[in-house]
């Protein structure tokens, strides 16, 4: 038990600070410790686990309205800036948004939206390769990604998530080809988008 | 090998079904003519691939093709945005319940439902449809691209006249030899082969190789070789069983009818034949040629109402016949009788033409002998029917002729013996096996009477059309036929097969192939055959 929670602890990347049915925003515990774009994260409670794909991220000032100012004129490197003003680390925060793509309830995985959104302050974990592989067995989530309103271009996010997921698979190419075929069907009416994505995941 | 090929996506009973190829199946492996099964919800269908095409989901792909140099993209698009389709025409169906399975495959009356899975046929499928080797089924080759024995029911085959077609060098002669062996082994019928090019009796030629053995070498005691050219046969080392000489008085007006074209006779000249025949009787040919250009002769022509030029035309023609070295006024032996004796004993007869390969000789001899043998059959059959004694019926006879269009073209088919045989089916226990490279030259009515047709590659559209005339699913078969290999591939359809199938005739000509044709070891075969006589 102890060991398990410790494992979970290691992958914990942040905490939900804003949530809706389709997505949530989490704040990272460490500045710049943001899970990669397109990677699979999960959050939730005993009731249900939500799976989501990291769809954007930002590092901003903690206090709204106060913008950081440039400080490096007399320093020799970026590290030097943080070293001479350690309080900086406390004034900035990293956040990321994640698009909910599925959930797990009673040990069963669903590739569609959960009945409830995530709760504020619930912990967000990076999924393990085993979880990624399991989730990647169905490509139903692609449809959610393709139809979401996003701040990043859809092609970028879809490609990034597939690239991320492929890393967890034994043979990334086989996974990407299968995903590509699914996309070819989903995007049968949108050849340009298909080409754009395939170009970004080609092996 | 029970590979899944794809799923049915559309179609109709009359036009066949469209099958979307799975992306895992390569379109380049899908050859036309391949035997496939479709697993419907309740029934299994059997059919043949008769077209292969490429589809794209979005026409834009054809305008701006993706970067297919990239194997990843090519792999992704294969089977999704771009896909292959097969056109399959189902011809047989078998139901899933016990009764249906007992009844075996039946002609199709419906199509498989949407998304039924299409697979390559298996050995069991082929055997279910065409049967396995047994006392009447003979292994003739393999269905295209399959290592399974395709069998033909020869007892059924010989019930009708049949045809073997294909352009020159496609394997008609080899196929015929195989079928002759089959009939010899698996049917009650006995064969009479008019062997224009000396290929069936003792040995046959093979392109780019040593000669192949023919019937007599393989089945000595069941085959007799007759020759028109004794010297030539001896020269070739053939041990013959008889020499055929044709007496001038054996030639009848009907024989001249079929020679009209080759002898260049005019219409009136042919009519004159009947007149002189009436006048002179049996010795008409001799007498006509002996007719002097005298007052007497002219009187006679006048009496018979034959014009001088017509007579000259006729004389030239008859002189050609008399010059044929195997004709003579009074031959010592009766060829028809000798051949019939062999046939009655169940011995297959091959008549070699030796050096006399010209078409006049062939038409004359084949016509003359066939007509007389047929007359015999006719009277014996009538006697057997009248007395209701089945044992008096003569053994079924299959007469094999090459260059069939010379005998069966529309102009002569109605008047010659072969036209009669083809039309009468097996009324008198005689049927034909016609071999031809120009089937469009054969009378269409005769073509429609042929029970089973086996055709190798043909490239002339008229020939293809004449072979397929009246066959259901013609356009589908046409695309299969047009794509056969240039050698040793054929399409069989008609009476003796449950469904059309493209196949590769079995190998003929290696020592191994001969062994396979002769069941059991040599000594045993001879013994078996001896027993047949008892
Ligand atoms: N079943 C077979 N086994 C082995 N070889 C074959 C077979 N069928 C055809 N061939 C090859 O094809 C060649 C031509 O075959 P064949 O002589 O039967 O043609 P054909 O159709 O009778 O030609 P033609 O119209 O000129 O008489 C043969 O010499 C042989 O080499
Ligand atoms: Mg030939």
Tens of pLDDT, residue by residue over B434-460, are 999 999 999 998 999 999 999 999 989
Task: Give the residue, out of B169, B214, B406, with the most ligand 1 atoms within 8 A of its beta carbon, to mutate for a pocket test.
Answer: B169
Residue written as tokens 């043909």? B458
- What is the nearest CA distance from A137 to chain B, expressed in angstroms? 17
pLDDT score recorded for residue A73 = 85
pLDDT score recorded for residue A76 = 87
Average of per-residue pLDDT across A40-69: 89
Using the beta-carbon criterion (under 8 Å), do B72 and A181 form an inter-chain contact?
no
Task: Give the residue, out of B138, B170, B171, B516, with the most ligand 1 atoms within 8 A of its beta carbon, to mutate for a pocket test.
Answer: B171
In sequence order, the β-bridge partners of residue A124 are A14, A43
Which residue, B509, B493, B515, is CA-closest to B171? B509
Instruction: Tell whether B30 lies on the interface with A, counting CB pairs under 8 A.
Output: no
Residue A3 has pLDDT above 50, yes or no: no
Residues B302-345 pLDDT 10s: 888 888 888 889 889 998 988 899 998 888 888 889 999 999 99
- What is the nearest CA distance from B81 to chain A, expressed in angstroms? 6
Residue B137 contacts residue B129 (beta carbons within 8 Å): no
Residue B394 has pLDDT above 90, yes or no: no
pLDDT score recorded for residue A9 = 47
- In the three-class reduction of DSSP (H, G, I as helix; E, B as strand; rest coil), residue A176 is classed as helix
Residues B80-91 pLDDT 10s: 888 889 999 999
Q: How many residues does chain B have?
A: 534
Residue A44 contacts residue A110 (beta carbons within 8 Å): no
Cα(first)–Cα(last) distance of chain B, in Å?
Answer: 46
Q: What angle do CA B120, B155, B484 make, to 5 degrees?
A: 40
Residue written as tokens 């093979």? B206
* A154-168 vs A172-186: helix crossing angle, rounded to 10: 150
Which residue, B492, B463, B488, B489, is CA-closest to B477? B492
- Best to test chain A binding among B76, B78, B82, B83 (most A CBs inside 10 Å): B76
Sheet holding B490-494, edge to edge: B150-153, B137-143, B501-505, B490-494, B452-455, B162-165, B430-436, B397-401, B190-195, B348-352, B223-227, B242-243
- In the three-class reduction of DSSP (H, G, I as helix; E, B as strand; rest coil), residue B508 is classed as coil
Residue B39 contacts residue B119 (beta carbons within 8 Å): yes
Task: Give the residue, out of B139, B141, B166, B173, with the most ligand 1 atoms within 8 A of its beta carbon, to mutate for a pocket test.
Answer: B173
Which residue, B532, B430, B451, B429, is CA-closest to B495? B451
- What is the nearest CA distance from A78 to chain B, expressed in angstroms? 41
Chain B residues with beta carbon closer than 8 angstroms to that of A173: 72
Number of domains in chain A: 1
C-beta pairs of A1-9 under 8 Å, 24+ apart in sequence: A8/A125
Measure the CA–CA gap between B319 and A79, rounded to whole angstroms. 119
Percent of the residues in chain B that have a pLDDT greater than 70, as a whole number: 97
* Among candidates A188, A189, A198 on the partner chain, residue whose Cβ is nearest the Cβ of B76: A198
Q: Give Cα B132 distance to the centre of its chain.
A: 22
Residue written as tokens 């004993």? B345
* B308-323 vs B295-304: helix crossing angle, rounded to 10: 100
Residue A1 has pLDDT above 50, yes or no: no
Nearest atom of ligand 1 to the alpha carbon of B199: 17
Residue written as tokens 């439902």? B113
Measure the CA–CA gap between B40 and B119, rounded to whole angstroms. 11
* Among candidates B57, B64, B76 on the partner chain, residue whose Cβ is nearest the Cβ of A180: B76
Using the beta-carbon criterion (under 8 Å), do B76 and A185 form an inter-chain contact?
no
Using the beta-carbon criterion (under 8 Å), do A180 and B66 form an inter-chain contact?
no
Instruction: Tell whether A202 lies on the interface with B, counting CB pairs under 8 A.
Output: yes
Using DSSP bridges, classify how beta strands B223-227 and B242-243 pair: parallel, antiparallel or unpaired.
Answer: parallel
Residue of B nearest to A185 (CA): B80
Instruction: Tell whether A177 lies on the interface with B, counting CB pairs under 8 A.
Output: yes
Residue written as tokens 């015999």? B376
Task: List C-alpha distances in Å: B203 to B210, B227, B320.
Answer: 10, 14, 30
Nearest atom of ligand 1 to the alpha carbon of B175: 1
- Residue A86 lies in domain: 2-201
Residues B269-308 pLDDT 10s: 888 899 889 888 888 888 888 887 778 888 888 888 888 8
Residue B152 has pLDDT above 90, yes or no: yes
Q: Which residues 6+ apart lie within 8 Å of B164 measured at CB? A: B172, B175, B176, B179, B433, B434, B435, B436, B453, B454, B455, B456
Measure the CA–CA gap between A45 and A47, rounded to whole angstroms. 5
Residue written as tokens 């059924």? B156
Measure the CA–CA gap between B89 and B46, rounded to whole angstroms. 8
Q: pTM (2 decimals)?
A: 0.81
Pick the residue with more confidence: B377 or B297? B377
> Both tokens of residue B104?
């075996």
pLDDT score recorded for residue B369 = 92
Q: What angle do CA A166, A97, A67 make, to 5 degrees?
A: 130
Chain B residues with beta carbon closer than 8 angstroms to that of A184: 57, 76-77, 80-81
Using the beta-carbon criterion (under 8 Å), do A188 and B75 form an inter-chain contact?
no
pLDDT, averaged across chain B: 88
pLDDT score recorded for residue A16 = 96
Sequence-ordered strand ranges (E) for B246-386: 246-247, 327-328, 348-352
Residue B456 contacts residue B140 (beta carbons within 8 Å): no
Measure the CA–CA gap between B253 and B232, rounded to whole angstroms. 30
Using the beta-carbon criterion (under 8 Å), do B58 and A203 form an inter-chain contact?
no
With b for 16 or more beta-carbon neighbours within 10 A and e for fewer, the B504-514 pattern comes to bbbebbeeeee
Chain A residues with beta carbon closer than 8 angstroms to that of B57: 184, 188
Instruction: Tell whether B201 lies on the interface with A, counting CB pairs under 8 A.
Output: no
Kindly state the DSSP code that residue B78 receives in the 8-state scheme.
B
Which band of pLDDT confidence, cut at 50, 70 and 90, is reported for residue B464? very high
Using the beta-carbon criterion (under 8 Å), do A188 and B81 form an inter-chain contact?
yes
Which band of pLDDT confidence, cut at 50, 70 and 90, is reported for residue B254? confident
Instruction: Tell whether the torsion through CA atoms of A122, A128, A131 and A137 is positive or negative.
Output: positive
Measure the CA–CA gap between A101 and A127, rounded to whole angstroms. 13
pLDDT score recorded for residue B59 = 77
Residue B119 contacts residue B90 (beta carbons within 8 Å): no
With b for 16 or more beta-carbon neighbours within 10 A and e for fewer, the B425-459 pattern comes to ebebbbbbbbbbbbbbbbbeebbebbbbbbbbbbe
- What is the nearest CA distance from B445 to chain A, expressed in angstroms? 53
Measure the CA–CA gap between B346 and B302, rounded to whole angstroms. 51
Task: Give the residue, out of B172, B174, B353, with the most ligand 1 atoms within 8 A of its beta carbon, to mutate for a pocket test.
Answer: B174
Average of per-residue pLDDT across B212-221: 90
Residue B229 has pLDDT above 60, yes or no: yes
Residues A111-165 pLDDT 10s: 999 999 999 999 999 999 999 999 999 999 999 999 998 899 999 999 999 999 9
Residue A141 contacts residue A102 (beta carbons within 8 Å): yes
Neighbours of B393 (CB within 10 A): 15
Q: Which residues 6+ apart lie within 8 Å of B44 measured at CB? A: B37, B38, B93, B94, B96
Which residue, B419, B442, B467, B434, is CA-closest to B194? B434
pLDDT score recorded for residue B454 = 97
All structural domains of chain B: 4-130 (no CATH), 156-245+332-527 (3.40.50.300), 249-322 (no CATH)
Chain A residues with beta carbon closer than 8 angstroms to that of B70: 202
- What is the nearest CA distance from A181 to chain B, expressed in angstroms? 5
Q: Which residues 6+ apart lie within 8 Å of B433 measured at CB? A: B161, B162, B163, B164, B176, B179, B191, B398, B399, B400, B401
* Among candidates B61, B64, B73 on the partner chain, residue whose Cβ is nearest the Cβ of A202: B73
- Ligand number with the minimum distance to the CA of B204: 1
Q: Which residues 6+ apart lie within 8 Å of B9 measured at CB? A: B18, B19, B20, B85, B114, B115
Residue B416: half-sphere exposure toward Cβ, Cα within 13 Å: 29
Centre of ligand 2 to C-alpha B168, Å, is: 7
Which band of pLDDT confidence, cut at 50, 70 and 90, is reported for residue B528? very low
Centre of ligand 2 to C-alpha B240, Å, is: 22
ipTM of the complex: 0.79
Residue A168 has pLDDT above 50, yes or no: yes
Task: List C-alpha distances in Å: B268 to B213, B282, B310.
Answer: 46, 21, 6
Residue B477 contacts residue B500 (beta carbons within 8 Å): yes
Measure the CA–CA gap between B133 and B69, rounded to whole angstroms. 50
Average of per-residue pLDDT across A91-112: 93
pLDDT score recorded for residue B520 = 63
Pick the residue with more confidence: B70 or B126? B126
Pick the residue with more confidence: A83 or B27? A83
Average of per-residue pLDDT across A44-55: 89
Residues in contact with ligand 1 (CB, 6 Å cut-off): B 166, 168-174, 206-207, 437, 487-488, 505, 507-509
pLDDT score recorded for residue B471 = 87
Q: Which residues 6+ apart lie within 8 Å of A136 measured at CB? A: A165, A168, A169, A175
- Ligand number with the minimum distance to the CA of B177: 1
């Amino acid at each position: 038990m102890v060991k398990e929670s410790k494992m979970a602890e290691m992958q914990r990347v942040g905490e939900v600070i804003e949530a809706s049915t389709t997505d949530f925003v989490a704040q990272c515990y460490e500045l710049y410790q943001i899970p990669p774009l397109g990677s699979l994260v999960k959050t939730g409670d005993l009731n249900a686990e939500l799976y989501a794909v990291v769809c954007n991220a930002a590092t901003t000032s903690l206090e709204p309205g106060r913008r950081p100012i440039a400080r490096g004129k007399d320093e020799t490197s970026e590290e030097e800036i943080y070293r001479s003003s350690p309080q900086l680390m406390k004034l900035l925060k990293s956040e990321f948004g994640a698009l909910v793509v599925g959930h797990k309830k009673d040990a069963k995985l669903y590739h569609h939206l959960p009945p409830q959104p995530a709760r504020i302050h619930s912990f967000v974990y990076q999924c393990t390769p085993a979880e990624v592989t399991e989730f990647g067995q169905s490509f139903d989530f692609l449809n959610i990604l393709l139809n979401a309103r996003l701040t990043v271009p859809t092609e970028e996010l879809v490609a990034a998530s597939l690239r991320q997921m492929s890393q967890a698979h034994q043979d990334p190419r086989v996974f990407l080809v299968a995903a590509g075929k699914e996309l070819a069907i989903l995007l049968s009416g949108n050849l340009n988008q298909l080409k754009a994505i395939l170009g970004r995941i080609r092996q | 090998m029970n590979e899944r090929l794809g799923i049915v996506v559309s179609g109709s009973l009359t036009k066949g079904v469209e099958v979307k190829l799975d992306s895992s199946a390569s379109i380049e492996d899908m050859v036309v003519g391949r035997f496939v099964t479709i697993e419907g919800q309740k029934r299994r269908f059997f059919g043949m691939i008769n077209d292969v095409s490429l589809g794209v989901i979005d026409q834009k792909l054809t305008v701006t093709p993706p970067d297919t140099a990239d194997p990843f993209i090519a792999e992704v698009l294969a089977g999704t945005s771009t896909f292959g389709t097969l056109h399959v025409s189902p011809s047989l169906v078998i139901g899933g319940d016990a009764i249906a399975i007992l009844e075996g495959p039946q002609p199709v009356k419906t199509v498989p439902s949407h998304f039924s899975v299409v697979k390559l046929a298996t050995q069991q499928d082929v055997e279910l449809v065409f049967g396995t080797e047994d006392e009447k089924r003979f292994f003739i080759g393999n269905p295209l691209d399959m290592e399974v024995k395709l069998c033909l029911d020869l007892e059924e085959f010989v019930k009708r006249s049949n045809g073997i077609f294909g352009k020159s060098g496609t394997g008609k002669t080899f196929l015929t030899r195989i079928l002759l062996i089959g009939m010899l082994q698996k049917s009650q019928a006995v064969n009479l082969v008019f062997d224009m090019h000396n290929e069936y009796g003792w040995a046959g030629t093979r392109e780019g190789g040593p000669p192949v053995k023919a019937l007599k070498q393989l089945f000595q005691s069941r085959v007799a070789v007759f020759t028109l050219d004794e010297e030539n046969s001896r020269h070739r080392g053939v041990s013959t069983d008889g020499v055929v000489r044709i007496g001038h008085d054996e030639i009848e007006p009907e024989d001249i009818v079929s020679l009209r074209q080759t002898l260049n006779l005019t219409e009136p000249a042919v009519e004159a034949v009947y007149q002189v025949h009436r006048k002179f009787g049996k010795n008409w040919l001799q007498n006509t040629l002996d007719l002097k250009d005298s007052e007497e002769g002219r009187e006679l022509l006048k009496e018979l109402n034959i014009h001088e030029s017509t007579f000259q035309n006729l004389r030239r023609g008859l002189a050609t016949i008399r010059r044929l070295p195997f004709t003579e006024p009074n031959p010592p032996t009766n060829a028809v009788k000798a051949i019939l004796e062999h046939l009655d004993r169940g011995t297959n007869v091959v008549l070699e033409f030796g050096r006399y390969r010209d078409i006049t000789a062939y038409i004359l001899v084949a016509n003359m002998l066939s007509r007389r043998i047929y007359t015999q059959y006719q009277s014996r059959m009538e006697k057997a029917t009248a007395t209701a004694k089945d044992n008096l019926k003569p053994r079924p006879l299959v007469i094999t002729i090459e260059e069939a269009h010379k005998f069966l073209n529309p102009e002569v088919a109605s008047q010659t013996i072969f036209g009669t045989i083809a039309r009468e089916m097996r009324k008198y226990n005689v049927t034909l096996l016609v071999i031809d490279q120009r089937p469009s030259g054969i009378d269409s009515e005769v073509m429609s009477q042929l029970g089973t047709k086996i055709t190798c590659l043909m490239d002339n559209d008229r020939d293809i059309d004449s072979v397929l005339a009246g066959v259901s699913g013609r356009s589908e078969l046409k695309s299969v036929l047009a794509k056969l290999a240039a050698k040793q591939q054929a399409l069989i359809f008609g009476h003796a097969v449950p469904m059309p199938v493209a196949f590769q005739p079995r190998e003929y000509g290696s020592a191994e192939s001969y062994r396979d044709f002769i069941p059991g070891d040599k000594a045993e075969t001879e013994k078996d055959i001896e027993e047949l006589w008892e």
